[in-house]
Structures are given as structure tokens and as C-alpha cells.
Amino acid sequence: MAKLIFRYTDEDFISEIREAKSVELDVPGDMDIHEFKVMCIRLAASIGYTEKSITNGFGDLIYGEENKHKLKN
């Protein structure tokens, strides 16, 4: 396992931003970039972003070898 930690430390900056000030994620140590993208997309969905916003932010939501013409809606 690995732990990804992001934390702003500048107190003046923290009081002005409208985003997460601290995030900690426990992830597999061998996570690849595609798995990381899926995790970020799920996180965005879990906090209420719409599918359209997520697609605009992350682009193509096709994972790995999936064929976009064979996916079910």
C-alpha cells in the first residue's frame, strides 16, 4: 500500500482558497495512471459533480481496452 498526501501549509493561502485543503488517499503501491484516473473520477462523482462536468474535466471516460461503441448506458 501507498499513501498519497496533499496538504496546503501556507495559512494565508488556505484562508482564501475554495478547494480541499488536505487530502489523504491509501492506494495500492503499484497503481497505474489509468487506475488513478478512475479513482479521481469516482471521487468527483461522490462529491456531487455531474457526469457532464466530470467528462469536461477528465476527458474520455473509456478505461483501458474498452470500446466506446460497445458500452451500455
Instruction: Return per-residue pLDDT of the chain as tens, 73 residues.
Output: 898 888 888 888 888 888 888 889 999 999 988 888 888 988 888 888 899 999 999 987 777 666 666 655 5
Say what the pLDDT of residue 56 is. 93
- With cell 478547494, the residue in question is 19
Q: Which residues pair with 6 in a beta bridge?
A: 23
Element (H, E) at 43: helix 33-46
Q: What is the pLDDT of residue 54?
A: 92
pLDDT at site 57: 92
Q: How many residues are there in the chain?
A: 73
